[in-house]
Amino acid sequence: MLITVANQPLAALSYQEEAMAAVKKAGTRIALNNVVYLTDFSEPSEAALPFAAAVAREYGAKVFAYHVLIPAAYVYTAPELVTVGLEAQEEAAEQNMKRAEAQLSGVAHEMVIERAAEIWPPLVQAMKDYNADLIVVGTHGRTGAEKLMLGSVAEEVFRKSPVPVLTIGPETRRCAHAGAKFHKILYATDFSADSLAAVPYAVSLAEENQARLILLHVMKPSSTPLSEREAQDLISNATFQLHDVVPASAELWCTAEAIVREGNPADKILEVAREKEADLIVLGVRQAEGRLGAATHLERATAHKVVVHAKCPVLTVRD
């Protein structure tokens, strides 16, 4: 579960085992060799392309620009329109791909258009075929009936993908950014296995960019009054655990800052990101079960709110 915790110490043995495993893995540099850029040619996905290109240039990766061509409903309204409609869709997709390809000049890339009834099954196969290390996707951040392909689908991708997902939200598009140059990385955790899965990526990216690493833990307000001593003990315990997830070797190149806040998880993550001028937020997320349309879990709402309102890209990593 992401950033939703009770105001009580975690089981020491369970936490230490998970933390040590995360720290050990964090000592290994993460390689980004193959990047899948998922696009529907909308404004949100077009805004995500420069990030995919920047990551590829920074890490020497290959970009697979990937579009799933889903036949529009009007194509099936009359038999005589089927062939004409499908050909028109294919032609439009090819033209859009050519425009996207122009932005990948100087980057190893492959443009892929695949026809399917829905996005997720072919994307799963594409991740395997291309040995993907990262998915880059844009989202408009709408909710409810306004969710289009890269609204609900972007969330479905970062919930289900076994590969880390870099999501470019609407607020990111309105702000100045440095592409894949990350100078201040905010990693938020509740110390669960789900959130600790993102530690290696936060640490490795901070090392790669010689970036400042900001560690954040958000505590929910206590349902019962706490003494000053009890509150301080909780903060001290959380601060210690935050520092504990960063390998000792990181001290040679990285300045890590631990922050503990109390309040709504999503609000506090966004608040700290603004205060510290973070240019990347890293979160561990729980795997989605089934389709997301029926999911109402608070943890899902937290990650969604961060992605929608963050003024920088958000990297989500699933355990």
Looking at the DSSP bridge assignments, the partners of residue 283 are 188, 316
Number of H helices, E strands in the chain: 11, 10
pLDDT tens digits, residue range 55-78? 999 889 999 999 998 876 555 556
pLDDT tens digits, residue range 6-55? 333 344 445 445 554 554 555 566 889 999 999 999 888 898 999 999 99
What is the rounded end-to-end Cα distance, in angstroms, of the chain?
A: 11
Phi and psi at residue 291, in whole multiples of 5°?
-85, 150
Averaged confidence pLDDT in the chain: 80
Opening angle at CA 261, ends 258 and 262, nearest 5: 155
Residue 20's pLDDT is 47
Residue 261: is its pLDDT beyond 70? yes
Q: Out of 128-137, 166-175, 207-216, pick the least confident.
A: 166-175
Give the chain's domains with CATH numbers. 12-28+182-318 (3.40.50.620), 34-170 (3.40.50.620)
d(CA 124, CA 81): 31
Percent of the chain with pLDDT over 70: 75
Residue 296: is its pLDDT beyond 50? no
Q: Which two tokens stand for residue 311?
A: 């003024």
pLDDT tens digits, residue range 155-192? 788 878 999 999 998 888 666 666 678 899 999 998 88
80 vs 71, more confident? 71
pLDDT confidence band for 82 (50 / 70 / 90): low
Q: Collapsing DSSP states into helix, strand and coil, what is residue 199?
A: helix
pLDDT confidence band for 226 (50 / 70 / 90): confident
| Pairing relationship of beta strands 256-262 and 280-285 according to DSSP bridges | unpaired
Virtual torsion, Cα 260, 264, 269, 271, nearest 10 deg: -90
Q: Out of 3-7, 266-270, 293-297, pick the least confident.
A: 3-7
Residue 137 to residues 35, 89, 308: CA-CA distances in angstroms?
A: 11, 21, 13
Residue 293 to residues 3, 141, 147, 305, 318: CA-CA distances in angstroms?
A: 22, 15, 10, 16, 19
**139: how many CB neighbours lie within 10 A of its CB?**
30
d(CA 120, CA 58): 28
Please report which helix (H) or strand (E) contains residue 38, including its range. strand 34-38
Residue 159's pLDDT is 79
Residue 88: is its pLDDT beyond 90? no
**Which 8-state DSSP code applies to residue 74?**
G
